[in-house]
């Protein structure tokens, strides 16, 4: 056998194109065919179509539960703030609860909640009318209310929440609007 013929046969054997009898040599096919790969991709796509909406709904529910927890945290922080100020007063805004202004400088809520944006919800705290107690420098606030609404309605949440000094969390789907005391209780 010539050297050229031998090299050609070796190349054909290595690439799987040799058709001669080389001690029952069979080149086994390795890997997947294009059809098999397309079938796997199609099955994964079908599963994803069913799973993605459920995952988004679960994330939205988690944001709403986080908002309810944040509202309860604001209520507890207001109670602690009231107990630590002299004269007793509620905080006038979230940043006062976050810095502990007039209550010893100890923060009562975390920085993200004090900023007014946490877990897909926007938060606001509003104090009622100020009362000036004789002999005191700073006014006192005896009423307050806090609201939470989704940053992106339908994506980060659908329910709006409200809480005040009565410490009853209220919530309902009002198309992402700001909550009021008229919302039904969810406790």
* Gap between the Cα atoms of 147 and 39, Å rounded: 50
Which residues neighbour 179 within 8 Å (Cβ) at sequence distance 6 or greater?
147, 148, 149, 160, 161, 162, 170, 171, 172
Q: Domain locations in the chain?
A: 1-27, 34-172
Pair 107, 120: CB distance under 8 Å? no
- Residue 143's φ and ψ, nearest 5 degrees, are -130, 155
Report pTM.
0.72
Residue 101 burial (C-beta neighbours within 10 Å; 0-12, 13-18, 19+): middle
Kindly tell me if the per-residue pLDDT of 21 is higher than 60. Answer: no
Q: What is the pLDDT of residues 85-142, one digit of tens each?
A: 878 889 899 998 999 877 778 899 999 999 999 989 999 999 988 888 777 777 788 8
């Amino acid at each position: 056998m010539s050297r050229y013929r031998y090299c050609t046969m070796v190349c054909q054997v290595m690439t799987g194109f040799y058709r001669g009898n080389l001690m029952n040599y069979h080149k086994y096919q390795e890997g997947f065919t294009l059809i098999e790969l397309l079938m796997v991709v199609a099955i994964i796509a079908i599963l994803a179509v069913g799973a993605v909406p459920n995952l988004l709904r679960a994330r939205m529910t988690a944001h709403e539960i986080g908002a309810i927890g944040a509202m309860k945290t604001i209520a507890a922080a207001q109670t602690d703030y009231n107990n630590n100020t002299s004269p007793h007063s509620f905080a006038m805004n979230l940043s006062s609860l976050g810095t502990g202004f007039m209550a010893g400088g100890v923060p009562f809520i975390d920085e993200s909640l004090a900023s007014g944006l946490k877990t897909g919800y926007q938060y606001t705290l509003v104090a009622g009318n100020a009362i000036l107690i004789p002999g005191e420098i700073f006014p006192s606030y005896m009423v307050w209310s806090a609201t939470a609404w989704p940053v992106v309605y339908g994506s980060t949440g659908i329910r709006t929440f409200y809480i005040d000094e009565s410490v009853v969390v209220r919530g309902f789907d009002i198309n992402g609007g700001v909550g009021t005391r008229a919302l039904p209780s969810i406790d």
